[in-house]
Amino acid sequence: MQDRSTTPVPPTTTPTTLVAPRTGHVVVLGMMAAGKTTVGSRLAKRLGRRFLDSDLMIHQAQGATVRELERRDGLPRVHELEWEALREALDAPRPVVVAAAASVVDHPEAATLLAGRGLVAWLRITPETMLHRMEADPDERHRPTLGAAGPRSVLESLRSLDVGRRARFEALADLVLDVDSIDPDHAADRLRQATNLPELVVDAGARLGEGPLWDPRSDVLWWVDLLGEAIHRHDPADGSDRAWATPRAPTALACHGREGLVVTTPRGIEAFHPDRPLEDRLELLIPLEADDPDTRTNDAKCDPEGNFLVGTMDWRFAPGRGRLYRVHPDGTTETIVESATIPNGLCWSGDGRRFHWIDTPTHRVDVFDVDPGSGRPTGRRHLAPADGGPLNPDGMTIDREDCLWVAHFADGPGSRCAVPGGITRFSPAGEPLLTVELPATYVTSVCFGGPGLEELYITTGPNEVPEPELVHEPHAGGLFRWRPGVGGRLLHAFGPHAPAGG
């Protein structure tokens, strides 16, 4: 393939500057009965993060509840344990949501510890509401606090605590929520919006989520579990996700005709028939390397002319064993790249003049010129990262400003990897503009969808993460969604000049 590394990138307008999500941990603080455990746990579920509660951490470590320890060892010892629990939570190898005891704001090092570690939220509650909730608690968790004193004495104590800590809460908090009159779900949603982080929409536990495809014919998102051998259909209207087992590993999808889908598998390009029995659910249309048991298809997308560009690779990742094919609807096949290892991430510029492609082990995104007559990509050259920064790229899509969104595996499995899994936005010239961290080591692909194509769907997988490390990313293998602030483009369909699905 000819190397035209000096070919300039066509000029473009300056990309929109997007609001970066909040990085790091989310710390939820609040006085007694503020609901920090309930709000924090619901927020963690929405974000797909691990949830840690300081009281529960103490109970697990000490074999006694905080109230039992208070009676046995005294309040100063409990406050010491609460501070140690917060420090331990903030040392977690993946960002967490932690509900911390109110007493941590009294520690002289609180401001230093929490500065720059993420988002600190204060659930503000009036002493009167505190007392009402404490008295109404069916589990009587606050009974020792209420004790034998009358309501007025307890209320006075709560008012004194509130006055004493209010200034410290205000000094530490990035966000204040008055929770007297809002329910935990509302509070969790407000916190999620404040972090601007991707949300978990399907806790699928897929072995290797891949190939997201927005289907404009029914406004649903299709995606695959490659290693789990299943095709999923997520309906954002009701939050449902239905999965169909497949007899072979599905790797990528494209719209086909009025209602149909085609899927790439180790045999080639196949029609998907969800209403048929498992053994007949896939029907081979166009074979690709079907006689080689050591190779399979990987990422694939259709070009503006309706041809399917399909990458193949060795099951054991043997270098150079793969290819990139351009398959016409009539079955005519041509080879675009002769030697590839893990072909991934295909997309075209809005004017159709540039084709972008990834071979993951090269740690870069390449760009091709598209011949205006044949539509064939030529002139492969390096594009991103333009600054030579680290990247382990996987799937990719493009937005309306011709900026690339690249999903990246972390640079190693589990909690010790230095670069977390996530997605990065690159300018048309290959400059990194924005990186979004996900609570999973392996982030695999991205696709615009939803109303106006203004939502970014993100697939993940837990594959290769050692089992003991998965405790740090409990929702790896889930489907995530984020609203970046810029819209995307439809993926092209398989068939002559079919725009939908592209």
Q: Are 252 and 501 in contact (CB under 8 A)?
A: no
State the catalytic residue, choosing from 299, 366, 394, 399: 394
Q: Parallel, antiparallel, or unpaired for β 25-30 and 118-124?
A: parallel
Directed axis angle between helix 66-73 and helix 54-62, to 10°?
Answer: 60
Measured between alpha carbons, how far is 335 from 241 in angstroms, rounded to an integer?
36
Sequence-ordered list of residues with C-beta below 8 angstroms from that of 16, at least 6 positions apart, any chain: 401, 485, 486
3-class SS at 338?
strand
Measured between alpha carbons, how far is 473 from 460 in angstroms, rounded to an integer?
11
Give the chain's largest Cα–Cα span. Answer: 88
Q: Are 364 and 317 in contact (CB under 8 A)?
A: no
Q: Is 53 a catalytic residue?
A: no
What are residue 59's phi and psi, to 5 degrees? -60, -45
Sequence-ordered list of residues with C-beta below 8 angstroms from that of 14, at least 6 positions apart, any chain: none
Q: Can you say how many angstroms the Cα of residue 478 is from the centroid of all Cα atoms in its chain?
A: 8
Of 21, 80, 136, 90, give the one whose Cα is nearest residue 458: 21
The residue whose two tokens read 């290769």 is 464
Q: Are 215 and 255 in contact (CB under 8 A)?
A: yes
Residues with catalytic function: 394
